[in-house]
Structure 1
Amino acid sequence: MVTPARPHAIELAPTRFWILHVVRAVLFAAVALFITFSRDHSAGLGLTAFGVFALVTGIVIGALSVRMVADRATRRLIIAQAVISIFAGTAALALRETGLGTLLLTVSIWAGMTGLLELYAGYRLFRRSALSRDFLIAGGLTALLAVVFVLVPPDFQQTDGGLNNAPLTLTSSVMAVGVFGAYAAIMAVFLAIGGLSIKWQKADEIASTEESE
């Protein structure tokens, strides 16, 4: 998951950056599970789930990055993402009764801005840090979410027979909320593996150093 460090690599956080990955993974997993087990996939539910997720993520990750990211420029990029998340989450919660258009607009803007910032962080660290690949993949997935939300048709509706001939209606809001839940689940798995990989890599390096001494 984490690419090998190259010559002249910079260390974003000697032993603790993996915590940021794992915390983000837990937050993504929480919203993914909430959406998965919720029978209501309305725009209001989507705005509430996204709003709480973005607000909590922005506050927690922004606060943790101050102490756990040593590289100043990368820390600023992460804090910028956190600020955007806080604003997007607050807007989503404040406007949760306004419907599908707000959900599509809010998530697409949030995903586009934070995804591009994370892609830039990965590009900036290319050939200098083992974390570059993690930033690039996470940023790419988030930017892709923005594209998908832009392409979701706002007036889509299709009714099928469903189970036991009970009507099952697929709407734009169901699609949008489902896509966000799937994205959150993928990010949770990716970040959890990435975070644990960093932790185990550090543990192996420490063990190797001790053995050489």
Structure 2
Amino acid sequence: MVTPARARALEPAPTRFWILHIVRAVILAAVGLFITFSRDHSPHLGLIAFGAFALVSGIVIGTLSVRLVADAPTRRLVIAQTVVSIAAGTIALALQATGLGTLLLTVSIWAGLTGLLELYAGYRLARRSALSRDFLIAGGLTALLAIVFVLLPPDFQQTDGGMDNVPLTLTSSVIAVGVFGAYAAVMAVFLAIGGLSIKWQKADDEASTEEPA
């Protein structure tokens, strides 16, 4: 994630930004595991899982970014993402009983807006920040989630043989909740690796500065 050649050019101090990566990874991992081990992939569960994730991550990351992100423009972009997340999470939880249409619309709008904000943050830091690549990849994955939810037909249904001659029905709801769970898992791994890379780079830099000339 962070190369030695670029680490010192970082505007939003990498030595502290790794904490945001790890916190996001933990929250995403939690929702990814919850969806993975849940047999219920209904719109109701999807809205609860997404709503809780968006609300918690928005509040926590927004609060931490005030202290951990030194670069003011980057901090404003991160806070803008958290505001969108808090709004989307609140709406999802309030409308958890309204069905698949609400899930598809809420997640697609959230993913579209936050993905574009993160892509812009990465573009703005290009060539002068080692975090640029992290922002661009995370933003790209989130924007891709938005595209999938926009293109997913709400009335899709396919029945296969399943196991033990029990029919297995694949619906739009199952796909949507499953895709969001997969997105959460992939993002959790990516951000965890990115955060640890920044942390280890900090340790390497500190060790090199302490070596006698």
What is the TM-score of this pair, normalised by structure 2? 0.97
Contact 2:35 2:49 in 1 (8 A): yes
Name 2:37's counterpart in structure 1.
37
Amino acid at match of 1:183: Y
Q: Which amino acid aligns with 2:22?
A: V
Partner of 2:21: 21
Report the Cα offset of residue 4 of structure 1: 4.5
Provide the secondary structure at the position in 1 that maps to 2:164: helix
Change (3 A) 1:133 1:4: farther
Look up the match of 2:184: 184
Rounded Cα–Cα distance in structure 1 between residues aligned with 2:152 and 2:3: 34
The question of whether the paired residues in 1 share the 8 Å contact of 2:35 and 2:181 is answered with yes
Shift of 1:3: 4.1
Percentage of identical aligned residues: 83
Q: CA RMSD in A?
A: 1.3
Q: Which runs of 4+ in 1 moved over 3 A?
A: 3-8
Show the 5 A alignment for 1:63-212: 63-212=63-212
Q: Provide the C-alpha distance between the structure 1 equivalents of 2:38 and 2:105, rounded to a whole number of angstroms.
A: 22
Asked whether the equivalents of residues 157 and 172 of structure 1 are also in contact (C-alpha less than 8 Å), the reply is: yes
Consecutive unaligned residues in structure 2, runs of 5 or more: none
Q: Tell me by how many angstroms 1:5 deviates.
A: 4.7
The 2-side partners of 1:129 and 1:79 are apart by: 19
SS, match of residue 163 in structure 1: coil
The verdict on how the C-alpha distance between 1:66 and 1:173 changes in structure 2, with shifts beyond 3 A counting, is: same
Cα deviation, 1:47-79, whole Å, max 9, x if unaligned, reads: 000000000000000000000000000000000
1:79 partner amino acid: I
Amino acid at match of 2:17: F
CA contact (8 A) 2:4 2:201 kept: no
- Structure 1 gaps of 5+ residues are none
Of 88-97 and 5-14, deviating more is 5-14
Does structure 2 retain, via aligned residues, the 8 Å contact 1:4–1:130? no
Q: How many residues align?
A: 213
